Amino acid sequence: MAPLLLVAYACESSFSPKGPFESKVAVVAILTTNSDTQYVRVFKTYDPPAFDPFAVRQDQSIRGVVAQVSSGALTVQYSESLRPRPDTNRFSDNIVAYVAHPFRVEGGKNYNLNVVTPSDGQVNSTVSVPDTGWVRVLNPLMLSSDRIDAGTAEDLIVQANISSGARGYMVRFYLDFDVPTGNSWTRTRLEIPGLVVKIDTTRYYGYPKLQRRSSEPGPPHSHQMEGAYFMIKAYAEKLKDIRVEYGPNVWLRRAIFVQTQVDENLYTYYNIVNGYQDAFSIRTDLPDWTNINGGLGIFGAIVEDSTFINF
């Protein structure tokens, strides 16, 4: 009888997937070497009235923040600014962002972040920026349109050289071409996918994603070799798409290969945020991970290197 009573009680007891709410400061700051402008965003966590976080229609940005990043004798102060919001479906006001310009981040250095809010305390963090790497195409002759037309081209092999401080990386392939517009030419850039699958008459393209390094990190400031591959068929199909959209007189100018390295913090945060998604529901059990001391969020780093091949 006792087990039956326990089952009946359990069935009638209320259950909520929401845990206790604790107000905290959340910071998003990603240092990048591909720009001389760096951003910090600061928010307060919020407790949605039910289970849908998108039901909250008011941005929770914190204003009046003192944000700075330092490395050795260098200290950079960020200034508060308002930036136009590209998507106003949820929030209609401008984006509150703290900006440092000009501020060039250097690979191989450590940076400290300190954020002081008017009424919610202070948080801080540290990031180690990966060293600059390099990338090269091992068989660039395969990019020749003559080889593509003749059907003799092979898949592109790209050598990625990443630093020991990088946890994840990816290589992207872009094509620059000129399109005739009246009496002049307009430069256009298109990302080339890594693979293509054709089902019946429909083509499905796959683009590079951030991936974990497969090589063991070496000593500090050393480099290890990784690889990336691009199906020549995907490149050929995109060339067809370009000629269909812009006409046969397109002038191919150069191929650009961009290598992106991310530090351990950003790679971990990215995988946790993107690893538990469900297309048919909103997950409330995402694990919390942060490297912001005293708060939530991420202080990470991106290093980009590139090479190009002229046609």
| C-alpha–C-alpha distance, residues 108 and 127, integer Å | 10
**pLDDT score at 298:** 97
| C-alpha–C-alpha distance, residues 98 and 96, integer Å | 7
pLDDT at 294 over 70: yes
pLDDT at 231 over 80: yes
Region 36-58 average pLDDT: 89
| C-alpha–C-alpha distance, residues 109 and 60, integer Å | 32
- Percent of the chain residues topping a pLDDT of 90: 74
* C-alpha to C-alpha distances, 15 to 11, 18, 19, 286, 291, nearest whole angstrom: 10, 9, 11, 18, 31
217's CB contacts (< 8 A; 6+ apart) are 164, 165, 166, 224
Cβ neighbours around 206 below 10 Å, total: 12
Residue with tokens 């693979």: 195
| No. of helices (H) and no. of strands (E), the chain | 4, 18
**pLDDT score at 284:** 59
Q: Which of the four pLDDT bands, split at 50, 70 and 90, describes residue 21?
A: confident
**pLDDT score at 276:** 62
| C-alpha–C-alpha distance, residues 31 and 110, integer Å | 11
**pLDDT score at 136:** 96
302's CB contacts (< 8 A; 6+ apart) are 30, 31, 32, 33, 34, 260, 261, 262, 266
**pLDDT score at 184:** 93
Return the minimum-mean-pLDDT range out of 19-28, 231-240, 251-260: 19-28
pLDDT at 3 over 90: no
* C-alpha to C-alpha distances, 296 to 63, 80, 223, nearest whole angstrom: 17, 20, 31
Q: Which of the four pLDDT bands, split at 50, 70 and 90, describes residue 250?
A: very high
User: For residue 92, which amino acid is it?
Assistant: S
Residue 102, preceding peptide bond in cis (omega within 30° of 0): yes
pLDDT at 7 over 90: no
Average confidence score pLDDT of the chain: 90
Strand partners, 116: 66, 122
- Alpha-helical (H) ranges within the chain are 2-12, 145-150, 232-246, 264-274
Cβ neighbours around 50 below 10 Å, total: 7
> What's the whole-model pTM score?
0.87
Collapsing DSSP states into helix, strand and coil, what is residue 142? helix
> 111-133: buried (b, 16+ CB within 10 Å) or exposed (e) per residue?
bebebbbeebeebebebebbbbb
For the stretch 170-221, pLDDT in tens is 999 999 999 999 899 999 999 999 999 989 888 999 999 999 999 999 999 9
For the stretch 120-169, pLDDT in tens is 999 999 999 999 999 999 999 999 888 887 788 899 999 999 999 999 99
| C-alpha–C-alpha distance, residues 152 and 138, integer Å | 16
Burial class of residue 161 (count of CB atoms within 10 Å of its CB; 0-12, 13-18, 19+): middle
- Percent of the chain residues topping a pLDDT of 70: 90
pLDDT at 243 over 70: yes
Dihedral-angle region of residue 69 (phi above 0 means left; psi in -120 to 50 means alpha; beta otherwise): beta
Q: What is the domain partition of the chain in residue ranges?
A: 22-129+263-305, 134-259
Confirm if 212 and 168 have CB atoms less than 8 A apart: yes
Q: The tokens of 239 are what?
A: 């060339």
